[in-house]
Amino acid sequence: MKSYTLAIAISMLLSAVYAFQNGSSVTVRFLFFERSLPQGIWEVLLFSFGVMLMWVFSLVAMLEIRGKLKGRIKDLEDKVRGLEEEKRSLLEAVGRSSGGHRSSPEEPCEASFGNEDGEEGKTEIE
């Protein structure tokens, strides 16, 4: 945030110097509008108007992107929810096929295995 404040302060200072150095009066006509002010003031005003206009356009673009990303997040959350449901049903099916050994799908089961020496050991399988 401090860098933006510094950039705005420097821009304002440069604009003031520019307006001071270009003090000759000009008449500007636009549609039904006619006004006579110093050239530097007109140019600073037009630059400021352009900055504000582009800021509004960038806000609209960011809102559009944000809406698309929210939709993408919702789709991915739905996909995760579906995969979690599929995982739970698969774990329940495995639990039923193994004789109902496991009471819940989240509870780890133990499996026996043999190592290279022929000794048996136990480990938990998740």
- pLDDT one-digit tens code per residue, 40-93: 888 888 888 888 898 899 999 999 999 999 999 999 999 999 999 999 999 999
Residue 50 lies in a domain: yes
Residue 42 lies in a domain: yes
Count of CB atoms situated within 10 Å of the CB of 48:
13
CA 41, CA 94: separation in Å to the nearest integer?
A: 78
Helix (H, G, I), strand (E, B) or coil at 36: strand
Residue 51 lies in a domain: yes
Range of the domain at 32: 1-84
1: DSSP letter: -
Residue 24 lies in a domain: yes
CA 72, CA 86: separation in Å to the nearest integer?
A: 21
State how far Cα 55 lies from the chain centre. Answer: 18
Q: For 16-44, how does the pLDDT look when each residue is reduced to its tens digit (9 = 90+)?
A: 888 778 778 888 887 888 888 888 888 88
Alpha helices (runs of H) in the chain, residue ranges in sequence order = 2-21, 39-97
Task: Report the pLDDT value the prediction gives residue 63, as an integer from 0 to 100.
Answer: 92
Residue 95 lies in a domain: no
Task: Report the pLDDT value the prediction gives residue 121, as an integer from 0 to 100.
Answer: 53
Task: Report the pLDDT value the prediction gives residue 118, as an integer from 0 to 100.
Answer: 54
Domain count, the chain: 1
Residue 39 lies in a domain: yes
Residue 54 lies in a domain: yes
| Contact (Cβ atoms closer than 8 angstroms) between residue 69 and residue 50 | no
Residue 2 lies in a domain: yes
At residue 34, φ and ψ (nearest 5 deg) are: -140, 125
Of the candidate ranges 8-22, 23-37, 103-117, the one whose mean pLDDT is the lowest:
103-117
Q: Is the pTM of this model over 0.85?
A: no
